[in-house]
Structure 1
């Protein structure tokens, strides 16, 4: 998150960021900025915050001279006319843009009369994903000047109790470390960050303009029941499933590495470095394969080999010799990986295919639809395909759809100095499979969120929300009164996310029906999603701005509109597990 104003001595501001957790990592964040114009002339005040990409904005409000201006969430098509009018007037019609790996930028401005005040308030909601055994809450603060009053409060409330809590990030370094206070009491934890005006210039990434960096709050909860935690309230049922007491499954993993000419330089160097680290992390009972491709496909070995010390040494020698050349035959490379796994089945092992590429198919079969059909037929839902898209030139929509069709996910690898660590981090998330082919069953439940998963990995979590029937509502509520509506909003949040995810795969009437359902829920709960826009009417001459959720991969040009937002589970589940509700 960030708040910013023009750097004028006539502007005085106070900023508060409040994050409240409903049980189990459903976070509602409210950012409030109060700004006073102390000069004898009107001034333009800019409000800017950075929010997580996984979040949905659910409220925006400006209060100017006692009058309230609320943003209104509308169907995107309904807002189109206002959007077009704003563009034609040369205004910045897109209030939200993508600004990197994890954040989106919400930005607006308003002219404030002399000796007047304005209050901005932005609310967004998100379900934190559990990765590698912890939840992560990212808070961004980037000011254009030190402010007299800056407060950040985080309240975590977890029924099972909090097993650990840690605060990291740039804003926890230097003198700013003294501005952080943490308190824990049984099922609650509080983190406060109240930096003084002087402290705001003294951290690793801060300067004379004040705060500039992230605060990362990480935590996890106690997990005593292997079947997970169940919560019931007001006709809603939530199941949190994160078993860790089951033996890990050995895996068959094949890495398919693009070595085409566009991977030259730092990309191929970072890929080599990441592969060397990943190979070192393989368990001895794992089996692995390496495939490199350009216009030709090169198999290190025709069969999967056990991750013995000798085999890993030879594999690392092969990786060190990978160089860039040629075009990009994705079809042949992926099919070769599928064939390698299919020819060497191992009972009880989890098979995983990982493709890394930075471009479109330019050699061999280049028709994207035919490539996806070939891959889907070859895999036959037997194991997941994970597609890692390197950089912005890659066709990320193609990789996303191909992954989803094959029960995997796509992940963008950003062209930064730590790209090798990004690759390694993704592998770590899928390195320890615990369960395969999971089907969760809830007799008596209706309107369930996703219940079928191909794999469940250690350190992740599955969340299922259900609208319960009358037999399920006999249980007393175990949700505090102040959080009673969170389960309904969590159900809506997950349902919308998953409906949007499936849009990529559906066609015809089925696609239209699910789109209508996602739109209905987005409107009912006032979520800014790819199907809705938030219309903000500014007080000056009725100016209108429209906030649209950007698409993954957009570089943030003003006026861009995202059609699909994809960022959901990186993990899955296994076997049939039935939960009785009465």
Structure 2
């Protein structure tokens, strides 16, 4: 008979007082060891595997209730005991913290940061795993769990309340997902589901750490979700949201380090319940390629996509449909109202489209743009699967003609179908006409992609937007051309600034054809470091995307290439153009303009640009650049990912971004990219007193947590963690390293 479950626990004597505090780190780890034995480096005791991890959070105003379900798996043929560790940042306020292990409730022991540090350091020594150093310096809940059956599972449930961090109208919640990296196997599934209820209307909802799905129920209720499978999360989950009674709410986050120019991000979102009287109508023109190359499945999907989108129009919208091959075939001479007989006739027209003839892109677009103006925001959806073969066929001339004809600032949304379209031409066509471009691979659905975009642009709120930043001396603001604001959307703008201080930011534009302006006073451009340290890397991601677009669409330029390499190297952002940086033989500490670095770069750029016009690689390059430019959150702590020629995601595992610097894995050694050629080198013995003294310095514990082999610049020295080296914290060493 198996022994009954025993949980050894000592109730914390420290009272938890509700109040404003830092966000709580909210996930624990179960460290394995033999029954009644310390956590030791026994070969037969690997880390437990985490099979499932489900988190549900209910946030009402400033109080969050979090419940966690975890299932741990013992991978060996021997009964084990576990020590459950739950790190909590200093100052976090949590109450009603309870654990349910196989139906038995317990209150874990709360240890101070000093006590927790000793436990972490002891585990690091015994298990030869520096990863836990990341959590040193934080308070810690601890409980012992026994038994954990051989090759069996142990289900654990946690529940606690906490007070949400709030600054003015900005709220912040954190869940410490990064401890799941200690799982011996990828998680079968992990999910976070959050329900938010506020008294004031919700505006911006943003995660700098994960790609989230947001469903806005009404102005004061929303749900946020994230889900993944077969993953080992290594980054905490962060969520920000703001409240405002204004029609459009805005929040500015900023970060400045030393004398360097600062970084900022502005989030702006309209209210959900937008009054019907203020809803803007649209002038929708559909231009569909029906040339011979569209025959078969493509023309069938084009018919279905057009019919679906016609049915999504509202009675206040006006529309026009043109099909084209070597000749242009308009449905009507001009715009008609989206209701009654005109709509029924248009649906019959769409279902009767046939594919034959050549491709006269120039004439089709000029005919569409000459349509007499109607009421509402002018938009044009253009779908084609090939290059122009009839009429004007020069790409440059077509671009020039379209730009000259677009006197009404029509938003031109382009869809390229298949691999025979010229990708740079269609990208330029969209960019020069206030629109976007999408590409449909041979194995993808035209209807799905067209319908998804159509849903996003269904309710324009503010058109032709512009931003004024007060006297903050902003620069390198991205995107350079602001997108229209639609109901349910969120504008994300990043940039740099020279002058810190409080400013009034103004967003202006057109609402129903009339000027409108929204002012957001007391927006802080910080004078120093803030919790928003993700901003430099987010800005760098968007800047790299912009530079790659310039190179891809206008040709290779030494200065632009050099800046791409410098930013990619500094921030650990790897693309198909900079993938050479992860090769073992490439010295990432070399200057971006150094001859060996530029030679590698030119070879890689030349190879990529040779495939930038047509085919799968060209589609991926366009999508990669677009993804970087519209990125709302920085790449994960790793080097991120990009699409290969087949559209498959390439994950970059040889790069980590910690402590505001990029580290590259070179021949088993994690090394940062800071210049170190003239610095004295000092070997530090792993797990020695000096090693743990370094771990207590700001940022260093995160660096040491990368692994056993690490090399980094610190206090004017190049430190290398090694089997042998300096071990004692002598006065001379303390002085050298300023410890």
Q: Is the 8 A contact 1:376 1:405 kept in 2?
A: yes
1:498 aligns with 2:540: no
SS of the aligned residue for 2:439 comes to strand
The one of 500, 513, 524 aligned to 1:471: 500
Supply the distance in 2 between the matched residues of 1:446 and 1:476 (Cα, whole angstroms).
13
Q: How is 1:397-546 mapped onto 2 (pairs within 5 angstroms)?
A: 397-416=424-443, 418-443=445-470, 444-447=472-475, 448-450=477-479, 452-453=481-482, 455-472=484-501, 483-503=531-551, 513-529=559-575, 531-537=577-583
Alignment of 1:566 with 2:622, yes or no, is no
Residue 342 of structure 2: aligned partner: 311
- Residues 192 and 287 of structure 1, relative CA distance in 2, 3 Å threshold: closer
Match of 1:228 among 219, 236, 250: 250
Distance (whole Å) between structure 2 residues aligned to residue 426 and residue 189 of structure 1: 21
- Aligned pairs for 1:347-362 within 5 A: 349-362=376-389
Equivalent residue of 1:467, what SS? strand
- Is contact 2:327–2:360 with CA below 8 Å preserved after alignment? yes
Aligned to 1:150: 187
Alpha-carbon contact 1:551-1:564 (below 8 Å) kept: no
Deviation string, structure 1 residues 312-343 (Cα, Å, up to 9, x no partner): 00111111211111010001001111111xx2
Matching residue of 2:331: 300
Equivalent position SS for 1:328 = coil
- What secondary structure, in the 3-state scheme, does the structure 2 residue paired with 1:150 have? coil
Distance change in 2, residues 1:472/1:464 (3 Å): farther
Distance 1:528 1:194, change over 3 A: closer
Secondary structure of residue in 2 paired with 1:325: coil
Deviations 1:100-142, CA, capped at 9 Å, x for gaps: xxxxxxxxxxxxxxxxxxxxxxxxxxxxxxxxxxxxxxxxxxx
Q: Does 1:374 align with 2:433?
A: no
- After superposition, the Cα gap between the structure-2 partners of 1:457 and 1:193, relative to the gap in structure 1 and judged at 3 Å, is closer
Structure 2: distance between partners of 1:445 and 1:462: 21
CA contact (8 A) 2:577 2:604 kept: no
Q: Kindly tell me: are residues 189 and 316 of structure 1, through their superposed partners in 2, closer, same or farther at Cα, counting changes over 3 Å?
A: closer
Query: Residue 392 in 1 paired to residue 440 in 2?
Result: no
Q: Please say if residues 360 and 394 of structure 1, whose CA atoms lie closer than 8 Å, have aligned partners that are also in contact.
A: yes
Question: Within 1, Cα distance between the matches of 2:204 and 2:429?
Answer: 38
> 2:368: which partner in 1?
337
Q: 1:299 Cα shift?
A: 0.8
Counterpart mapping for 1:7-406 below 5 A:
150=187, 223-224=243-244, 226-234=248-256, 235-244=262-271, 245=274, 247-340=278-371, 343-346=372-375, 349-380=376-407, 382-406=409-433
The alpha-carbon distance between structure 1 residues 192 and 501, as it changes in their structure 2 partners (threshold 3 A), is closer
| Mapped partners of 1:148, 1:513: distance in 2 | 44
Partner residue, 2:513: none
Contact 1:501 1:565 in 2 (8 A): no
CA shift digits 1:535-556 (9 cap, x unpaired): 44469xxxx9x99989697546
Distance, in Å, in 1 between the alignment partners of 2:620 and 2:228 is 35
Q: 1:515 Cα shift?
A: 4.9
Partner Cα separation in structure 1 for residue 622 and residue 343 of structure 2 = 43
Aligned twin of 1:121: none
TM-fit CA distance, 1:505? 5.8
Shift of 1:501: 3.3
Cα distance, 1:478 vs structure 2: 9.6
Aligned mates of 2:524, 2:404 — CA distance in 1: 48
Does structure 2 conserve the Cα–Cα contact (< 8 Å) formed by 1:446 and 1:466?
yes
User: What secondary structure does 1:490 align onto?
Assistant: helix
Deviation at 1:458? Answer: 2.2
Q: In structure 2, do the counterparts of structure 1 residues 384 and 220 end up closer, same or farther at CA, with 3 Å as the change threshold?
A: farther
CA contact (8 A) 1:401 1:504 kept: no
Partners of 2:338 and 2:353 in 1: CA distance: 20
**Corresponding residue for 1:107?**
none
CA contact (8 A) 2:204 2:243 kept: no
**1:376/1:323 CA distance change after superposition, 3 Å:** same
State the SS of the aligned residue for 1:463. strand
Counterpart-to-counterpart distance in 2, 1:473 and 1:17:
45
Distance between the aligned counterparts of 1:15 and 1:229, measured in 2? 37
For CA contacts below 8 A with separation 6 or more, give which structure has more relative contact order: 1
CA separation of 1:424/1:570 partners in 2, compared to 1, >3 Å: closer, same or farther? farther
Comparing 455-464 and 292-301, the one that deviates more: 455-464
In structure 1, stretches of 5+ residues that fail to align are 1-11, 19-35, 37-65, 69-146, 166-185, 196-210, 212-216, 572-582
Which TM-score applies when normalising by structure 2?
0.45
Larger radius of gyration: 2
In the alignment, the residues of structure 2 paired with residue 380 and residue 241 of structure 1 have an alpha-carbon distance, to the nearest angstrom, of 28
Give 1:13 deviation, angstroms.
12
Task: String of CA shifts for 1:391-442, please: whole Å, max 9, x gaps.
Answer: 1222222111111111211101233474322221121122221111111111
Q: CA 1:520–1:570 in 2, change beyond 3 Å: closer, same or farther? A: closer
Distance of 2:613 and 2:241 partners within structure 1: 31
TM-score where L is the length of structure 1: 0.56
